[in-house]
Every structure is written in structure tokens, then in C-alpha cells.
Amino acid sequence: MKEYGYVRVGASVPKMEVANPIFNVKEIKAQIDLAISRQIDILVFPELSITGYTCGDLFHQEILLDKSYDALKQLVLYSKDKDLLFIVGAPIKVSNLLFNTAVVFYRGKILGVVPKTYIPNYNEFYEKRWFSSSNNLLPDEIELCGQKVLFGTDILFEDKKRKHIKFGIEICEDLWCIFPPSNNYVINGATMIFNLSASNEITGKYEYRKDLVKMQSAKTISAYIYTSSGVNESTTDLVFSGASMIYENGSLLKENERFDFGSNLIEADVDIQRLVSERNRNTSYMGITNDLKFRIVYFELSDKKQVLNRIYSKTPFVPDKTELMCNRCNEVLSIQSYALAKRLKHTGFCKTVIGISGGLDSTLAFLVIVRAYEILGIDNKNIIAVTMPGFGTSDRTYKNAICLVNNYGATLKEISIKEASLLHYKDIGHDISVHDITYENVQARERTQILMDVANKENAIVVGTGDLSELALGWCTYNGDHMSMYSVNASIPKTLVKYLVRFVAINDEKSRKVLFDILDTPISPELLPPSEDDQISQVTEDKIGPYILHDFFLYHFFRYGASPRKILYLANKTFDNMFSNEEIEKWLKLFIKRFFSQQFKRSCVPDGVKVGSVSLSPRGDFRMPSDASSDIWITDLDD
């Protein structure tokens, strides 16, 4: 698992007794053992987990501090043969000052002690009564449990073998302040932040706390692992819920059930490679630097065999939840239609020309034009939908195309490409019985020529129908369906196209029947003759592989810079019950080869609106030489 850039992190909320380090250290040990059984690499406990956060003036009692110190010594001994790095919260006295600290243990050593910086002293908080801020810090090294230990907020912890497994620590209020310490940690290379917290519950705080952690994780492009004191804290005036959560770049990986009198533990597999890739891409990430000097403490996590617990969506471009899906579809359609509406306003044209085939892509583009016309108050009669039957057109797609256009009151034109194609085959000396790439592309270019010429005649613009998945694979005819005057589907992957059309179908009773039939039709360019019973003989996915796989490959390859080996690993796990490992590897190799070899088509695509996080426009998100070699990517799979 680590070879693909993952590290398993955990957040524990142990059962505890206020001011009883003897009891608390036993429960912490039990949680450590549980974490080891789950093969967690790094585990964090709440703020002041050795004593409890709500000890109040008992923090002035030497006996409490002495027993807390004894508990730390126990953990040093206990950790000697434990394959786990863990962080606990404890009060530590240094130079006559008491600090609220995080203590980091690994294999019998205390790697470092990080004190809290921002000490809350308002509303229900009185921490300055007991604790000093790290701003009052004097020594940068202390003796603790018979060891010389680094002490301060200038410490980062880094794995010797895997330098990107690097973390910093902040404590509770540090996150809530205007400039959290984690800002400096991530600027200096930390990919993970662990927060030991004691956050009480009041109405509305749960959502606010989650938003705070989410946004700090997103802003810093880091994994943020947060855990907080539970309901076993004193309820003299407050109640604590024991909230814990793990975020990665603003996405929630795991959170616990709050208000539990027992102990609870959550874990998640954090993708460090993904975070590093995102930082490499984000050129403003290091737009500000500082001259702070950090001390690095090294550790070395073991290479234990772990099975990835993280679940990935088979359709990463498509939201999983129904409500979110509806909102997302509406948002996507709005972006597409307003982009087209702006282009029409700018050009002064009120007419559009679209090739309508009865397939998914042209259907979606047509529906987008309908929406744009509704926005601009233009009659749908100004949509000139051209159906162009060819040698491979089936009766099913032909009828669906006509029905769709008529349902929305657009202007239908039917122009057969057969006669013109036959003449062209004769002109170039091509045998029409040879159904090769020339046979297909002649038809595709003939259709584009018709659309362009109709647009000239009608003073209109041609709206393109090709989608993101086709562009990624280069599955389009150069200067054929590859070309238009504005492309509304350019950043819509095939898997999302289906959901967008389905969304419209569900909400449009008039066209529901035809739209659902289009959804059920096999994806095909229909350039080869149909079977004797008029069934589509040329099924795209038989030739180039399932789009559900290609969209998965595209998402992880482009969006997160995953290596082919890692993509194969994730795909084998995600599609375990759908495709064999051999099938997945075959289609992945094809994806890589086509992605590189077909870049020349993407280098000159027409204008098209960016909708999601992935766009292959040469003017926007993606610049790649047309003659780049794919060898090292293919070799990565063969190693």
C-alpha cells in the first residue's frame, strides 16, 4: 500500500476518567493495541488525553503532574516493540512554566514535544490560568523520561524512506486562530496535520468545526486528522462529544459517531501521492514563503503488508448521492447553456446548427442549446438540427433523432450522406467494400462539411457534440466530428453524459420516452453497415473498451497524476466484480497509448466550456507536446 503513496492514519477518542492518568494510560494502551490490529501507521489522541482536559485547578497539583509523567514513562516502555507511531496530549512543566503539549512516541522513543501556541481565555475557556503559550518558550530541548527530546513548535516529523510522509502538529485553538501553525508546516513540506483537541459542544458548533477542518485541509492541500475529548470529560458546565474526523484536501474520508461513553477509533488510508501531485499542479500554493527554520525529526514506518481499505467510486465524475447528483446535473447544464448563450450574444447569431444522430452526445448538446435558447428567449425554431443518415444508420437512432427534434419544436433537416460519400470514394479511388478507417472518416468529414455549409447559409454557428472521454482517447475524426464552432460537451466525460440526459428525461415528461430509449442505445458512430436485422454492428466499447474504465483511468491519471501501476492497482480493487485484472490492464495500456498518440487532435480543438475539474483544452488546463513518448508509462505497467 505504501508503494502507491498511502499511509494509514487513525484518530482515537479513548474512554477516560478526569484527573486519573493511571486509568487513562491503560485505555490509551488498549487503543494502541486495537490500532495495531487494524494496521494503522500513525495514531493521534485528544488534547490532554493523559489527564483529561477539564481538570481545572488540579493542574496546579504536583501529584497530577507526577502521575502524568509516570504515564508517559509507561508509554515509552510500552511502545518499544509496537509497530505504531502515536501522539498523546499531556501537561509538561518546563522552566517553571506548564505547557499543554502533544508528545510523539515511536518504538521506545519520544520523537518530540509540541506545545500549544494559542491559549484560549474567553467565554467558557480559562486555559491561561494554568498553561503558558509556546510564545513563552525558553529551551528548544528538554529531558523527558530519561531522553533528550526536541521541544517547540518548529518541529516536523518525516519518514526517512518516504520523505512525503511528513507531518506537523497543532493543538485545538491553534486551528481556530487567524494564522494557524499548520500554514507554516505545510509551506515547509508537511503533507499531514494532526490536531489534538478538546472542543465542547454547543448548538451549531458541530457543523462549524467540520467546516473549519475541511477548509484548512483544502487550503493547505493536506490531510488533516482531528480528534477531540469525549463525553467522559467533566460536565460541570460543558459537554464534550468526542468528535473526530479525517479530511484529505477538503474531502471527508472518515468521521466517528459522537457522544460515546466507550472508546472509539476511526482510520483512513491517506493518499500522500495525490496531495503531492495536487501541490505540484497548484502554482500559487507556494506563492508565499517564509524564512522560518524547522527541525526535522526522522522516523521510519515499517513496510508491513496492508490491504487498502479506501473505497473509490467506479464513476468518479459522477456524485454518489441522489440529491447531490440532481444539484450537480442542474449546475453542469447551467454552465454549459450559459456559456453557449454568451457565445450567441457575442456573435449576434440567433441560429445554431447541430448534427443530431440519436446518440447520447448529440442529444446532450441539443438539450443544452434548448436551455440556452430559453435563457435568451429565442424560439427553438432557430435550432437547425440536421440528421444525416449514412451507411450505418439504424432505424432506431434515425427515429429517435427525428422524435427528439420534433418534441422540442426545432427545425429538422434531413440530408443523406450516402451519395456524396460514394462519389468521394470514387474520386479518391477507395473500394467501398473495404470498411476501413478511410471508409469511416469519409462519412464523418462529409457530415461536418454539411453542418459547416448549412451554418454559412443560415448565418448560424455549429455546436459541437464530442465529449471529454472521446477527446482523451482521440476517438474522433480529425477535422470531422473533431471540429465545430463551439463545443459544449468538451469537458463532459461519457459517464456523466448519461446522467445528464437521464436527469433531463426524469424531469421532462414530454420527451421522457425517447430520451430513455437513447440512453438504452449502444454507443456507436454508426459508420459501418448495420446487421441484417437492422441492429447496430459497430459498438464503440467493443473496439476501445468500456467508457466506465476509461473515465476512471482519465480521472486518476489526469486529475491526480497517478502512475499507471497505481491506477491498475486501484482499478483492480474497484472493479473486482466487473472486469478481470487482464481486461483492466489491456484497456489501461490502450488508454495510455491513445492518450499520448492522439494529442495532436487536442492541440487544435475548438472553444469549449470547462465544466468540471478535468479539461483537456490546450488553452486552459492541459499543455502537452503532440509527439511525447508514452514508453515510460507503458513500462511502468510491465515492471
- Which pLDDT value is given to residue 283? 76
Q: Name the pTM for this structure.
A: 0.88
Q: CATH code at 613?
A: 3.40.50.620
Q: Are residues 278 and 185 in the same domain?
A: yes
Catalytic, out of 67, 116, 494, 589: 116
Q: Are residues 57 and 120 in the same domain?
A: yes
Residues 398 and 319: their CA atoms lie apart, in Å, by 32
Q: Which domain holds residue 410?
A: 322-638
- Which pLDDT value is given to residue 128? 87
- Is residue 524 pLDDT above 80, yes or no? no
Domain count, the chain: 2
Of the candidates 554, 575, 551, which has an alpha carbon nearest to the alpha carbon of residue 494? 551
**Is residue 187 classed as helix, strand or coil in its secondary structure?**
helix
Backbone angles phi, psi at 305, to 5 degrees: -75, 120
- Which pLDDT value is given to residue 497? 94
Q: Are residues 290 and 346 in the same domain?
A: no
* 408-454 per-position pLDDT tens digit: 999 999 999 999 999 999 999 999 999 999 999 999 999 999 999 99
CA distances from 404 to 359, 374, 485, 580 (A): 11, 17, 23, 38
251 part of a folded domain: yes
Tell me if residue 116 is catalytic. yes
Catalytic, out of 47, 127, 278, 470: 47
Mean pLDDT of the chain: 92
Q: Are residues 427 and 533 in the same domain?
A: yes
Residues 217 and 517: their CA atoms lie apart, in Å, by 44
* 195-229 per-position pLDDT tens digit: 999 988 888 888 999 999 999 999 999 999 999 99
- Which pLDDT value is given to residue 536? 66
Backbone angles phi, psi at 497, to 5 degrees: -55, -45
* 133-172 per-position pLDDT tens digit: 988 877 899 999 999 999 999 999 999 999 999 999 999 9
Cell of 13: 477518542
285 part of a folded domain: yes
311 part of a folded domain: no
314 part of a folded domain: no
Q: Please, what is the end-to-end C-alpha distance for the chain in angstroms? A: 17
- Which pLDDT value is given to residue 537? 60
Report whether 587 contacts 312 (CB < 8 A).
no
* 344-388 per-position pLDDT tens digit: 999 999 999 999 999 999 999 999 999 999 999 999 999 999 999
What is the mean predicted confidence (pLDDT) over 169-180? 92
Domain boundary among 299, 331, 360: 299
607 part of a folded domain: yes
What is the mean predicted confidence (pLDDT) over 577-599? 95
- Which pLDDT value is given to residue 451? 97
- Which pLDDT value is given to residue 468? 95
Q: Are residues 221 and 333 in the same domain?
A: no
Tell me if residue 403 is catalytic. no
Cell of 439: 471508409
- Which pLDDT value is given to residue 491? 94
Residues with Cβ < 8 Å from 533, sequence gap 6 or more?
Answer: none
Q: Are residues 216 and 331 in the same domain?
A: no
Integer-rounded Cα radius of gyration of the chain: 31
Q: Are residues 37 and 133 in the same domain?
A: yes
Report whether 193 contacts 165 (CB < 8 A).
no
276 part of a folded domain: yes
Percentage with pLDDT > 90 across the chain: 79
Please report which helix (H) or strand (E) contains residue 184, including its range.
Answer: helix 181-187
Cell of 377: 428567449
Residues 432 and 225: their CA atoms lie apart, in Å, by 64
- Which pLDDT value is given to residue 534? 67
Sign of the C-alpha dihedral, residues 450, 454, 455, 456?
A: positive
33 part of a folded domain: yes
- Is residue 322 pLDDT above 80, yes or no? no
* Ramachandran area for residue 559 (φ above 0: left; ψ -120 to 50: alpha; else beta): alpha
Domain boundary among 299, 314, 333: 299
Tell me if residue 47 is catalytic. yes
Report whether 193 contacts 157 (CB < 8 A).
no
Q: Are residues 293 and 368 in the same domain?
A: no
Kindly indicate the confidence band of residue 543, based on its pLDDT and cuts at 50, 70 and 90. Answer: confident
399 part of a folded domain: yes
* 238-286 per-position pLDDT tens digit: 888 999 999 999 999 999 999 999 999 999 999 999 999 999 888 787 7
Q: Are residues 531 and 399 in the same domain?
A: yes
Q: CATH code at 266?
A: 3.60.110.10
Q: Are residues 153 and 212 in the same domain?
A: yes
Domain boundary among 299, 330, 364: 299
Residues 130 and 628: their CA atoms lie apart, in Å, by 63
- Which pLDDT value is given to residue 538? 62
Q: Are residues 478 and 540 in the same domain?
A: yes
Q: Are residues 274 and 416 in the same domain?
A: no
